[in-house]
A = this chain, B = another copy of it.
Amino acid sequence: MTKPTLYPESGFSRLRIDLAYDGSNYFGWARQSDQRSVQEGIESALSKIARVNIETVVAGRTDAGVHATGQVIHADVPESLESEDLLYKLNRILDEDIRIMKIEKAPAAFHARFSALRRHYNYKILDNNAILSPLNRFDVAPWYKALEIDLMNQASSLVIGKHDFAAFSKFREGATTLRTLEKFSWHRDTHGYLIAELVADAFCYSMVRSLVGAAVCVGDQRFAPEWMKSVLLKKERVSDSLVFPARGLTLIRVDYPDDAQLLLAAAQNLALEVGDLAIAGDE
Partner-B contacts on A (CB < 8 A): 20-22, 67, 69, 88, 91, 96-101, 129, 131-135, 137-139, 250
Contacts and interface: CB of A to CB of B under 8 A. Distances in A.
A121 to B, nearest CB: 14
A67 to B, nearest CB: 6
B137 A97 contact: yes
Nearest to A139: B135
| Copies in the assembly, this chain | 2
Contact of A133 (B88, B99, B132, B134): B99
Contacts of A99: 131-134
A190 to B, nearest CB: 11
Contacts of A21: 134
A20 B137 contact: no
A114 to B, nearest CB: 27
A133 B96 contact: no
A129 B131 CA distance: 33
Contact of A131 (B22, B100, B134, B250): B100
